[in-house]
Amino acid sequence: MATNAESLKPVQKIDDLVTPALLLDRAKLDRNITRLADRARKLGVVLRPHMKTAKSIDVAQRVFPTEPGPITVSTIAEAEYFARHGYRDMTYAVGLSPASALRAAELCRRTSVDLKLLLDTVEQADALAGVRKATGVIPSVLIELDCDDHRGGLKPDDPRLIEVADRVVAAGAKLAGVLAHAGESYGLSTSDALVEAAENERSATVRAAEILRDHGHACPIVSLGSTPTAHFAANLDGVTELRAGVYMFFDLVQHGVGVCTVDDLAISVLATVIGVKPEKGWVLVDAGWMALSRDRGTANQKIDQGYGVVCDAKGRVLEGVIVSQASQEHGILAMRPGSGRRMPELPVGARVRILPNHACAMAGQHDFYSVVNGASPEIEARWERIRGW
């Protein structure tokens, strides 16, 4: 089957794209990037954007237009990819395994990359001695903190915090600091709650750093961030850096939380109508979960957006129309229950854009972005994405 990647000439118009296709609106991307960069400057912290959403050097260069800056990655493959493009200051923000630690150290040995690893157990800390012996690299690590019972990490007042720090040093590694992620903020929906979550994240992370310093550990990096708390933090006293990733694109989950408007969403999947079932109120498109992802992150929010909100070919929201069902290569468009509206006329061959529940998941289904600018029919560029682990 022919794909855009196999075309003999570059695609220049949106109408020429083989669907489903991942679109990225450059103007919205730039606006979102500027918004958080300005906040970080105002709050007096370094912004270390998480590239797990974009996974693209072209997007990174919109964030850092003059030279590579500090970034966060979620896979070693990402670290290797960005290292090839000149990025040297990275944090691998996933708990390390022995294999990932060794691979990360090998990357540091081959290049001048400072790749900080993440851990929260004495077993992980002890494994660093073997990594150092095998590679000759002194690993640099951050201790993961649990600020809201969301995922992994240690509580700031957990006695194991000091034990882990001591074992890191005993293994001959460098303790660079602490890292937290307020994942529970994704379940909030009011400004007051988000401000409170941001302050809880800040205070817990700073307290852990102070405890470590009281026990003789310098702890120069105090890193925190999620897209919701990054946009609602009232102050970041005691924090050195801010991390966020999905803010570059935003998505319907973030809209439901109250961080962005629908107009801020920078990516969408272009799809083609391939069938109509008026007796069921359905329109069928050629974008199923292989193109949209199975993410149903809005299902527990006040407004369930199905598998995505539907826009017309120029990106204008079709009020009340969502992707209500998705199979592998088919999506079913229908009116949101209770909308009180009628399905707009979408004949076979019509194009629509589908907005993501979760931008990371939608983008992760595709190999490249077709870069557009608003309602313009032109394709400005094609930006490749890194995939894999």
Q: What is the pLDDT of residues 290-302, one digit of tens each?
A: 999 999 999 999 9
**Which pLDDT belongs to residue 150?**
84
The verdict on residue 35 lying in a domain is no
Which of 250, 283, 299 represents a domain boundary (last residue)?
250
User: What's the whole-number average pLDDT of the chain?
Assistant: 96
Q: In this predicted structure, what is the pLDDT of residue 2?
A: 35
Let me know if residue 154 belongs to a domain: yes
Assign residue 17 the CATH number of its domain: 2.40.37.20
User: What pLDDT, in 10s, does the model give residues 317-373?
Assistant: 999 999 999 999 999 999 999 888 999 999 999 999 999 999 999 999 999 999 999
Same domain? 126 vs 54: yes
Return the structure tokens found at 171: 């293994």
Q: Are residues 67 and 179 in the same domain?
A: yes
One-letter identity of residue 214: D
Question: By C-alpha distance, which of 47, 7, 33 is closest to 246?
Answer: 33
pLDDT digit string (tens) for 58-104?
999 999 999 999 999 999 999 999 999 999 999 999 999 999 999 99
Judged against a pLDDT cut of 90, whether residue 171 lies above it is answered with yes
Asked, for residue 257, whether it belongs to a domain, the answer is no
Question: What's the pLDDT at 151?
Answer: 81
Say if residue 109's pLDDT is above 50.
Answer: yes
* Residue 3 pLDDT class (50, 70, 90 cuts): very low
Here the tokens at position 205 are 């992370």
Q: Is residue 379 part of a domain?
A: yes
Structural domain includes residue 271? yes
Q: What is the pLDDT of residues 145-166, one digit of tens each?
A: 999 988 899 999 999 999 999 9
Q: Is residue 38 part of a domain?
A: no
Given this model, what pLDDT does residue 340 score? 86
Query: Measured at the alpha carbon of residue 40, what is the angle toward residues 191 and 51, in degrees to the nearest 5?
Result: 95
CA separation for the pair 100, 214 (Å, rounded): 31
Q: How many CB atoms lie within 10 A of CB 7?
A: 12
**Host domain of residue 130:** 44-250
- AA letter at 210: E
Residue 207: pLDDT over 50: yes
Whether residues 110 and 216 share a domain: the answer is yes
- C-alpha span between 162 and 212 (Å, rounded): 7
Rounded CA gap, 358 and 351, in Å?
21
**Can you tell me the distance from the alpha carbon of 209 to that of 143, in angstroms, rounded to the nearest whole number?**
10
pTM of the shown model: 0.95
| pLDDT reading at 9 higher than 80 | no
Q: Is 258 exposed, middle or buried (0-12, 13-18, 19+ CB in 10 A)?
A: middle
Total domains, the chain: 2
Domain match, 372 and 237 both: no
Q: Please check whether residue 77 lies inside any domain of the structure.
A: yes
Domain boundary among 186, 216, 250: 250
102 and 231 co-located in one domain: yes
Residue type at 376 in one-letter notation: S
